[in-house]
Amino acid sequence: MNSLPVKRACELTDNGDQPQWLIEGLWADQAVGILGGQPKCCKSFLALDLAVSVAAGSPCLRRFPVRRTGPVLLFPAEDALAVVRQRLEGICMAAGAQLDKLPIYVITAPRILLDLPQDREQLRATVAEIRPALLILDPFIRLHRADENASKDVAPLLGYLRELQRQFGMAVLLVHHVRKGSSTERPGQALRGSSDLHGWGDSNLYLRRNSRHLILSVEQRAAPSPDDIPLHLSVNGHGPSLAVLDAPQSDKEPLPASPADRILLAISQAAGPLTAAQLRKACRIRTSTLSSVTADLVAAGRLRRGLDGYSLHSSPPPVPVSLSLPL
Q: Where are the domains of the chain?
A: 17-244, 259-312
The answer to whether the Cα torsion of 213, 217, 218, 224 is positive or negative is positive
CA 254 to chain centre: 26
pLDDT means over runs of 10, the chain (327 residues): 85 65 96 93 96 98 96 96 94 94 97 96 98 97 94 96 97 90 61 90 92 88 89 78 74 62 84 87 83 90 89 60 45
At 237, the amino acid letter reads: G
Output the pTM of the full model: 0.72
Residue pair 55/102 in contact (Cβ under 8 Å)? The answer is yes
Assigned architecture for domain 259-312: Orthogonal Bundle (1.10)
Residue 98: how many CB atoms within 10 A of its CB?
A: 11
Cα–Cα distance for residue pair 221/56, rounded to 1 Å: 26
pLDDT of residue 3: 87
Distance CA(252)–CA(167), nearest Å, equals 53
Angle between helices 276-283 and 259-269 (to 10 degrees): 110
20 φ/ψ sector (left φ>0, alpha ψ -120 to 50, else beta): beta
Q: Could you give the dihedral angle defined by the CA atoms of residues 182, 184, 186 and 192, in that order, rounded to the nearest 10 degrees?
A: 0
Query: What is the architecture, at CATH level 2, of domain 17-244?
Result: 3-Layer(aba) Sandwich (3.40)
Identical topology for domains 17-244 and 259-312: no
Nearest 5°: CA angle at 155, between 154 and 158? 90
